Structure 1
Amino acid sequence: MSVSPADDGLWCRRFHPAPEAPHRLVCFPHAGGSASYYLPVAAALSPRVDVVAVQYPGRQDRRGEPLIDDIATLADRVHAALRGWDDRPLTFFGHSMGALVAFEVARRFERDGGGPVRLFASGRRAPSRYRDENVHQRGDDGIIAEVKAMSGTDDRLLGDEELIRMILPALRGDYKAVETYRCEPGATVACPITAIVGDSDPKTSLDEADDWRGHTTAGFDLHVLPGGHFYLNSRAADVMRILDEHFAAAPAAQAG
């Protein structure tokens, strides 16, 4: 697996490298999630799009590393790791917590004079929309109940005590990062934003998703798909269609 000069191979995963692709998609996982969640996306888009999935510390092969329970710090680290991956137009896709991380990483790229050509914010209310939540302060059973309610983790996994112990620290740290995040007032990106939300998502109302339009100085569109917080598990074909339409119209890297 090749890595960029700025990445040590820990942060950026390419499951189906497409070095000649004219586009690159960077995928940011949800709370408790890992880079491998986006393996089917990489398989579906290769070789037309080079897909890079971000691996946060504290999970899978990075389980022994300290967790990062602060969105700003996590965005700083991801931004540093992604330097060198911008040799072709970047598109960001983040689900749930990943949407916030993607937004903050995009802001950091823009400060350097670059940035993605579009940001897809999936299953997450706009950064300026705050809810008073405290899942990270609950006991283990409370966190497990929350994850089950979101249908983001296979119930068979949640019935395995050893696996629960493995994922709970990452879940708690990620929930803390999300629940303590406060968006800088008036924060925007210069790229267009596409928000995607499930029509029955208990974590993001349609109004909260629509408010992403206030965080871009470019275009905005909203897609509402059937389903809850993890609508994309059952509506993968719809998500891929939206991405395909974007890449068909997006600026491409020049050959040679």
Structure 2
Amino acid sequence: MTGGGVRVGLRGTADGSGPLVACFPHAGGAASAYRNWPRLLAGADVLAVQYPGREDRLGDPFASTLEELADAAAGALAEAAGATGRRPVLFGHSMGASVAYETALRLRDRSCEPALLAVSGRPAPAHQAPPRLSHLDDRAFLERVAELGGLEDVLRHPELAELVLPQLRADYGLLEAYRPAPAAPLSCPAVAALGSEDPTLTESGVADWQTATSGAFRLLRFPGGHFYLRDAAASLTAELLPHLPPGMPVPAAPGRSRPGGTPRRS
């Protein structure tokens, strides 16, 4: 699916009747980060968003803006929602949280607001500060990114660094240029999650995602750092399951939310 010339893919199937869950990877990540989620979200149709320039889209040019990624993802997901008659649930971790949020806004413009927005490892739009890493040489850049965790093997093996460096540079460039525009709150429920030891976040900054929606809001905390998700995917998805709809119709019904979420705080 294209958006401003940018192509994204949706990995997975949408031929069931349960919730339609779209997952957005972190910076430098790919659809394979969610390869276990169909098992963890049994009964749901899990679609992992594949950004250009990695895995099976290695030959596709990188996006020039985060908004371009969201445009392309919204087009692909609106098509999937129309074909299945289900509004999608959006989940994104780290950079993926911002792409998911921007995609949610674009889906609303298409009368296909998500059934749920779930974000992880990312402060609310008003609290986001762009990273300043583009000026660093490759080694210093990788060392700074590695402070978040998950790049130990890359730092030990230069051949791996050569493979992941272009997509990391591209994605951090998107984050460096990204400035969330003011937007009216969504009406869907929202869930925000963080690792309790994440050095990039404050709990109040994550909790402020409640201002992105007029629907129910819940804040989830898990042990671990920025990539707590690697050890806590089963725990996180277990928390998300009660909030997943059975398959909601298109178009969205503005202002409706599922019961059972923690009431949003004023």
The bucket for the TM-score relative to the shorter chain is 0.7 to 0.9
Question: Alignment partner for residue 233 of structure 2, among 216, 233, 236?
Answer: 236
Q: Secondary structure, in 3 states, of the residue corresponding to 2:214?
A: coil
1:164 is aligned to 161
Are 2:78 and 2:112, in contact at CA under 8 Å, matched by a contact in 1? no
Matched, 1:40 2:58: no
Are 1:120 and 1:193, in contact at CA under 8 Å, matched by a contact in 2? yes
Q: Secondary structure, in 3 states, of the residue corresponding to 1:195?
A: strand
The more displaced of 237-246 and 190-199 is: 237-246
Deviation at 1:45, TM superposition (A): 2.2
Are 2:130 and 2:178, in contact at CA under 8 Å, matched by a contact in 1? no
Deviation at 1:129, TM superposition (A): 1.1
Question: Alignment partner for residue 69 of structure 2, among 74, 90, 100?
Answer: 74
Q: Secondary structure, in 3 states, of the residue corresponding to 1:197?
A: strand
Are 1:89 and 1:251, in contact at CA under 8 Å, matched by a contact in 2? no
Matched, 1:99 2:124: no
Alpha-carbon spacing, 1:75–1:158, altered in 2? closer, same or farther (3 Å): same
5 Å-filtered alignment, 1:55-204, equals 55-86=50-81, 87=84, 88-153=86-151, 155-204=152-201
Matched, 1:22 2:22: no
Normalized against structure 1, the TM-score is what?
0.88
- How much identity, in percent, do the aligned residues show? 38
Q: Secondary structure, in 3 states, of the residue corresponding to 2:218?
A: strand
Question: Alignment partner for residue 215 of structure 1, among 212, 233, 238?
Answer: 212
Are 2:20 and 2:247, in contact at CA under 8 Å, matched by a contact in 1? no
Task: Write the distance in 2 (CA, Å) between the matches of 1:171 and 1:192.
Answer: 31
Task: Write the distance in 1 (CA, Å) between the matches of 2:68 and 2:49.
Answer: 15
Deviation at 1:98, TM superposition (A): 0.3
Q: Which amino acid aligns with 1:161?
A: P
The more displaced of 165-174 and 141-150 is: 141-150
Q: Deviations over 1:7-50 (max 9, x none)?
A: xx961101xx362232110000000000000001123224x000
Normalized against structure 2, the TM-score is what?
0.85
Task: Write the distance in 2 (CA, Å) between the matches of 1:94 and 1:160.
Answer: 28
Q: CA RMSD in A?
A: 1.9
1:31 is aligned to 27
Q: Secondary structure, in 3 states, of the residue corresponding to 2:194?
A: strand
Task: Write the distance in 2 (CA, Å) between the matches of 1:187 and 1:141.
Answer: 41
Are 1:150 and 1:229, in contact at CA under 8 Å, matched by a contact in 2? yes
Q: Which runs of 5+ in 1 are unaligned?
A: 4-8
Deviation at 1:251, TM superposition (A): 4.2
Task: Write the distance in 2 (CA, Å) between the matches of 1:65 and 1:236.
Answer: 29
1:53 is aligned to 48
Are 1:194 and 1:221, in contact at CA under 8 Å, matched by a contact in 2? yes
2:253 is aligned to none
Task: Write the distance in 2 (CA, Å) between the matches of 1:98 and 1:10.
Answer: 13
Deviation at 1:163, TM superposition (A): 1.9
